[in-house]
């Protein structure tokens, strides 16, 4: 649908962008809630925990499926209905909860809760800045993407070297990268909204893609902070 911003007042544009971002955050929150519920439920059952983690192949398979769902949703969302896009996103969030149930086995519940609230506070502040700033942050994208690739490759390399000091440094670098991505992605999502299509299928799919992007930023920010702050059992 064509962007009709040229026929809308500045107040109308701001109001529609605000409503769109509220939908993005609502879907993101729903995904996080499902992830948390699934993670807690799996970790609370010895049978389910054994089913997921007794065979090393199961977590790997789940991770491959998760990556596939992200690629599928990001690349083919335009060919999906809004309900299909929503279903894929929630399926991804649920599977992430299954794989993330390990954190309840490794870290204390108190440190998980504290880290979650710290992450929520950081994420909220960073995302708010990304939403309200007038500064064009598009130039950050390539730099942050390169940093993310470097982080992934460094973590892979450290699987062989097993350096605790290097791993700790990567956790702090990861926090900086995903903090930057939260700001950058928020502005990008705000700008990608097609004005004038509020309430349509396309509008819902835009909100789902935005929610997935910020969900990934939040989850990764949380995991890196947990590695820094978390108390192990």
Task: Give pLDDT, residue 201.
Answer: 84
- Gap between the Cα atoms of 177 and 220, Å rounded: 10
What domain range is 74 assigned to? 5-229
pLDDT digits (tens, 9 = 90+) for 72-95: 998 888 889 999 999 999 999 999
- Gap between the Cα atoms of 177 and 171, Å rounded: 10
Which two structure tokens, joined as six digits, stand for 126?
């960073």
More confident residue, 229 or 193: 229
pLDDT at 108 over 70: yes
pLDDT at 137 over 70: yes
The chain-wide mean pLDDT, for the chain, equals 90
- Gap between the Cα atoms of 99 and 62, Å rounded: 7
| Confidence grade of residue 2 (pLDDT, cut at 50, 70, 90) | very low
- Gap between the Cα atoms of 210 and 218, Å rounded: 12
pLDDT digits (tens, 9 = 90+) for 10-48: 777 788 888 999 999 999 999 999 999 999 999 999 899
Beta-carbon neighbour count of residue 21 at 10 Å? Answer: 19
- Gap between the Cα atoms of 225 and 223, Å rounded: 5
Per the structure, the count of domains in the chain is: 1
- Gap between the Cα atoms of 198 and 12, Å rounded: 12
User: Is pTM beyond 0.75 here?
Assistant: yes
């Amino acid at each position: 649908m064509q962007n009709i911003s040229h026929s809308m007042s500045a107040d109308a544009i701001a109001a529609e962008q605000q409503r769109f971002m509220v939908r993005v955050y609502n879907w993101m929150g729903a995904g996080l809630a499902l992830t948390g519920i699934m993670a807690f439920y799996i970790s609370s059952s010895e049978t389910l925990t054994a089913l997921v983690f007794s065979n090393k192949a199961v977590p790997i398979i789940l991770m491959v499926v998760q990556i596939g769902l992200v690629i599928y949703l990001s690349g083919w969302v335009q060919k999906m209905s809004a309900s299909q896009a929503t279903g894929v996103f929630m399926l991804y969030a649920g599977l992430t909860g299954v794989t993330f149930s390990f954190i309840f086995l490794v870290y204390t519940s108190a440190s998980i809760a504290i880290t979650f609230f710290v992450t929520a506070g950081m994420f909220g502040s960073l995302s708010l800045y990304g939403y309200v700033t007038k500064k064009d942050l598009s130039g950050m994208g390539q730099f942050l993407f390169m940093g993310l690739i470097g982080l992934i490759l460094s973590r892979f390399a450290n699987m062989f070297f097993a350096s605790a000091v290097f791993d700790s440094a990567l956790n702090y670098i990861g926090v900086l990268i995903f903090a930057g991505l939260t700001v950058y992605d928020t502005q990008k999502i705000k700008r990608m909204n097609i004005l004038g299509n509020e309430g349509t299928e396309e509008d819902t799919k835009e909100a789902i893609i935005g929610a997935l992007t910020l969900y990934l930023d939040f989850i990764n920010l949380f995991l890196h902070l947990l590695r820094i702050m978390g108390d192990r059992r």
